[in-house]
Amino acid sequence: AQSVAQPEDQVNVAEGNPLTVKCTYSVSGNPYLFWYVQYPNRGLQFLLKYITGDNLVKGSYGFEAEFNKSQTSFHLKKPSALVSDSALYFCAVRDLTSGTYKYIFGTGTRLKVLA
What residue ranges bind another protein (CB under 8 A)? 32, 34, 36, 41-46, 49, 51, 88, 90, 94, 96, 100-103, 105-108, 110
Q: Read off φ and ψ for residue 78, nearest 5 degrees.
A: -150, 135
Cβ closest to another protein, residue 9 vs residue 115: 9
Cβ closest to another protein, residue 22 vs residue 49: 49
How far apart are CB 103 and another protein at their closest, in Å?
6
How far apart are CB 73 and another protein at their closest, in Å?
19
Among the listed residues 30, 49, 47, 35, the one whose alpha carbon sits nearest the alpha carbon of residue 95: 30
Based on its alpha-carbon atoms, the radius of gyration of the chain, rounded to whole angstroms, reads 14
CA distances to 32, 37, 51, 75 from 109, in Å = 20, 10, 22, 12
Cβ closest to another protein, residue 14 vs residue 51: 51
How far apart are CB 8 and another protein at their closest, in Å?
14
Among the listed residues 110, 73, 105, 114, the one whose alpha carbon sits nearest the alpha carbon of residue 89: 110
How far apart are CB 80 and another protein at their closest, in Å?
26
